[in-house]
Amino acid sequence: MRMLILDLDSLRPDHLGCYGYSRNTSPNIDNIAGEGVRFTNYYTSDAPCFPSRSALMTGRTGIHTGAVGHGGTAGYVRQEGASRSFNDRHTTENFPAFMRSVGFKTALVSPFPERHSAWTFYAGFNEMHNTGSSGMESAEEVTPTVLKWVEDNAKEDNWMLYVNYWDPHTPYRAPEDFGNPFENEPLPDWITPDVLERHKKKVGPHSAQELNMYDNQTSPKYPRYPGEISDYSDLRQVIDGYDCGVRHMDENIGQIFKALLKQGVMDDLIVIITADHGENLGELGIYSEHGTADNATCRIPMIIRWPGRKQGYVDHGLHYHLDLLPTLAELFGKDPIPSWDGLSYAPVLTEGQECGRDYLVISQCAHVCQRSVRFDNWLYIRTYHDGFHLFDDEMLFDLENDPYEQHNLARLKPDVCKEAVYLLNKWHDDMMKSMDFDVDPLWTVIKEGGPYHAQAKDLKKYVKRLEETGRSWAIPELQWRHPRAFQDSPSDLDTVYKRTSEQFKI
């Protein structure tokens, strides 16, 4: 038996043809989806990159691993401490370690561990191939390593090859000579002129006026990625840039499938196609980032083509990405490892039997501190640190009727919010009772100065940007919400605040 896992960074499911996208971004992925099972409500438990992949590899949620951010204490998977034996739990409990336990040779083609110093990501792999650019490489730099591995190893039995591609991730690095096959395609119709004008007034990193997080700087190396969105031409550059990344990646994936077919192993190959997180392309007024616990960031594709199992089937149940491990265990006839937080959905693959969860709790602590509850058609978002976006503490979206999260219904639907808070508290109680530590890492992030991508040093620069771009109205509100950031910063912040207060007679 052989298995290929394609972990495609920042890939939104709704920008794939097999998920209903109108643009022809993914013909090779679509073909695999038609031969397997496609999951429509599949979520990372923890976003973005490092927390998500740490959860997938360990089978445990971020609140259990402690890895919920991109810096500080939350930028590490927790050590076992005094209970550690001769080997730690990664030796036997991680994803590739489990695959080795059922007889698979495991190989990785990815620079991800180097990108985030995520060395635990290597645990259990027999072979590791670092493509060398810390996640800034485009597909044509990754594919030769994959093709060489396929040529050398494909005909062997019982292997798992795990491959990372990065092209949908900012700054949308599909080569310039790839062109733009989507230049005449329509833009998203939900971003009307009124919506775009509203987005241009929004504050916060990766808002329309500062795609480069806190400013509008650009790089000639990345011509598909503008510094800001001031009109529909800029919007096209972003949407087309993202979609070109998807299509360029898909064409490289097609080369892998062609090579496997040539080796005679494609017909009986298990193919798993997924992502670490999605990408906001206007949702919540955020562009070209994966920095919240919302649907655009946390919903991911999952396609499993398993010869002899269900074909052409679509599952709508709620699942975490870390549910993959107990699913594989069941399919291989093994008991799940007790430390795993996932639940098997093997019956979906074997019988087309729905076995989704009643609700999910998804977390983000690298750009903001948020936890969200996904249940029925609702997405409830609780914000503990707004990452300088001025989000409401509570947000509630009806995803069936408002998939792009434009209308916060929290004040209109207090009963739904109460239900969501009950589910969130129940999840939190269960998680805290089943962990070895008594500290929720979300609060560690806040106590250590806030999310890595929203710290006092960032606010110091950003208030000047707000003043220069006519959004000084937001500065007093930012000071009220983040007094520590202002107190810890030099006096020039106080000067800006005083001038703004006088201007608006605050």
Burial of 288 (0-12, 13-18, 19+ CB in 10 A): buried
Predicted confidence at residue 188, as pLDDT, reads 97
Give the span between the Cα atoms of 389 and 139, in whole angstroms.
33
Mean pLDDT for the stretch of residues 105-117: 96
Q: Dump pLDDT digits (tens) for 256-287.
A: 999 999 999 999 999 999 999 999 999 999 99
Residues 336-386 have pLDDT tens digits of: 999 999 999 999 999 999 999 999 999 999 999 999 999 999 999 999 999
Q: Cβ neighbours of residue 58 under 8 Å, at least 6 residues apart?
A: 64, 65, 77, 89, 90, 93, 94, 95, 120, 322, 339
pLDDT at residue 492 greater than cutoff 70: no
Three-state SS letters, 215-270:
CCCCCCCCCCCCCCCCCHHHHHHHHHHHHHHHHHHHHHHHHHHHHHHHCCCCCCEE
Distance CA 87, CA 107 (A): 21
Q: Read off the pLDDT of each residue in 436-459 and give the average, rounded to a whole number.
A: 93
DSSP assignment string, 70-91? SSGGGGSPPP-GGG--SS-THH
Q: Comparing 146-155, 219-228, 400-409, 492-501, which segment has the lowest mean pLDDT? A: 492-501
The encoded tokens of residue 46 equal 């923890």
Q: Write out pLDDT tens, residues 13-48.
A: 999 999 999 999 999 999 999 999 999 999 999 999
Q: Which domains does the chain have, with CATH numbers?
A: 2-77+89-178+186-362 (3.40.720.10), 363-441 (3.30.1120.10), 456-504 (no CATH)
Q: How far is residue 300 from each of residues 8, 45, 274, 305, measured CA to CA in Å? A: 10, 11, 7, 16
Helix, strand, coil % (nearest 5) of the chain? 40, 15, 45
Within 275-402, strands assigned E span 280-281, 287-289, 299-305, 313-320, 359-364, 369-375, 378-385, 394-398
Compute the distance between CA of residue 317 and CA of residue 304 in angstroms, rounded to an integer.
Answer: 15
Q: How many residues does the chain have?
A: 506
Amino acid in the structure at residue 292: T
What local confidence, expressed as pLDDT, does residue 496 receive? 46
The rounded distance, in Å, linking the Cα atoms of 277 and 56 is 12
Q: What pLDDT score was predicted for residue 501?
A: 46
- What average pLDDT does this structure show over 171-188? 96
